[in-house]
Chain A
Amino acid sequence: MDSAAAALLGMGLAAAGFAGAGVGIGYIFGKMIEAVARQPEAEARVGKYMWIGFALVEAIALYGLVIAFIIMGLRK
């Protein structure tokens, strides 16, 4: 296989890691809604941890993006 084509495939595979982050973000917001529906007065406290969790999960997806950029840099 052409090495440039392999690099493009690798970048695409790195982007596939976003699926996991999608699951994670869905899980976080779903659980948040569940928690607030059970105990509406806890919204402020739970919300704080939700945003921290959201940012951490999103960062995991972006590690994949960084790997894609590294492969893009190696391509030349």
Chain B
Amino acid sequence: MPTGRRSGGRRHNVVQLRKYERAMEESPLHPFELHNWVPISLGGLDISINKAVVIMWVVVSLVAVLMVMAGSARKLVPGKLQSLAEIMVDFIRGIIMDTMGKDGMRFFPLIATLFLFILFCNLIGLIPGSYTVTSQIVVTAVFACLVYGLSLVLGFFLHGIKFLGILVPPGTPGWLLPLMVPIELISQLARPISLAVRLFANMTAGHVILGVLFGLSISGGLLIGWLPFAFTVAMNGLEVGIAFIQAYIFTVLTCVYLGDAFHLHGHDEHAH
């Protein structure tokens, strides 16, 4: 009897795998579909609870608990957790000091929150069965619009109407202005879009590649299927790196945009 049950389990697994294979063939994006767990509607606004929302709660509580625990029992000779927190804080401070200078430290809470949230979202998405929240363009677009809107508000608040000078690169001769201003305007408007799409596309593409490779190893069988499967191991390693780099890039570009609004044409104006 036990043998019968075991083979039944294997048959069940095969059925599951075939189902996955067929779904991957139909659309490689099907792992990113979200289904409402608890449908909630607030005045026509859909605020249902689904997997992405739950994972976001997990990420937020994980980061908060980790940082509070690391900071609650501070010692001169830090333990493991405190060292980790210190390295992260030092890393984020380094980014801010390099791109914005000393007065950028006012934005440390915002930048640190963005970095840790994106980093943990990216990393948690690598656990099988979990969900990458940053593979939803809604999430990344909200972050990008927030950052870009903040840089605009900050620029107009600090420099007034002179902030429009950001559309004129320093040292442009007058006759080039009709050409340079539209180009600069387009490059400014492309900033939030590229910021959002970069993170979203990186996260989505990594998981699609993994999904396609797993599909290949299932349909390849034992004879040749181990090859794409071995490749997924390497891809997973690359994905961990990408998760870090993308969180880092997002943070650096946030700092650069905010720094542009701060200093308007580089550090020389800031020096006086």
List chain A positions with a Cβ less than 8 A from chain B. Answer: 51-52, 54-56, 58-59, 62-63, 65-66, 69, 72
Contact = CB atoms under 8 A, between A and B. Distances in A.
B252 interface: yes
Given A56-B249, A59-B197, 11 more contacts: A54-B245, A55-B202, A55-B245, A59-B198, A59-B201, A63-B201, A65-B204, A65-B208, A66-B197, A69-B29, A72-B27
B29 A59 contact: no
Tell me the dominant secondary structure on chain A's binding face: helix
Instruction: Give the residue among B197, B201, B246, B248 with the most A Cβ atoms within 10 A.
Output: B201
In which size bucket is the chain B interface?
Answer: 10 to 19
A53 B245 CA distance: 10
A62 B205 contact: yes
Contact of B205 (A52, A65, A72): A65
Contacts of A56: 198, 249
23 contacts: A51-B245, A51-B248, A52-B248, A54-B245, A55-B245, A55-B246, A55-B249, A56-B249, A58-B242, A59-B194, A59-B198, A59-B201, A59-B202, A62-B197, A62-B201, A62-B202, A62-B205, A63-B197, A65-B201, A65-B204, A65-B208, A66-B201, A69-B29
Contacts of A72: 27, 29
Interface string B204-238: 11001000000000000000000000000000000
Tell me the dominant secondary structure on chain B's binding face: helix
A34 to B, nearest CB: 22
Contacts, number: 39
Interface of B: 27, 29, 194, 197-198, 200-202, 204-205, 208, 242, 245-246, 248-249, 252
A2 to B, nearest CB: 19
Given A52-B252, A69-B29, A72-B27, A62 B198 contact: yes
A32 B196 CA distance: 28
Contacts of A62: 197-198, 201-202, 205
Contacts of A59: 194, 197-198, 201-202
Nearest to B27: A72
Nearest to A62: B201
Contacts of A66: 197, 200-201
A75 to B, nearest CB: 10
Contacts of B197: 59, 62-63, 66
Nearest to B249: A55
A58 B27 contact: no
A71 B203 CA distance: 19
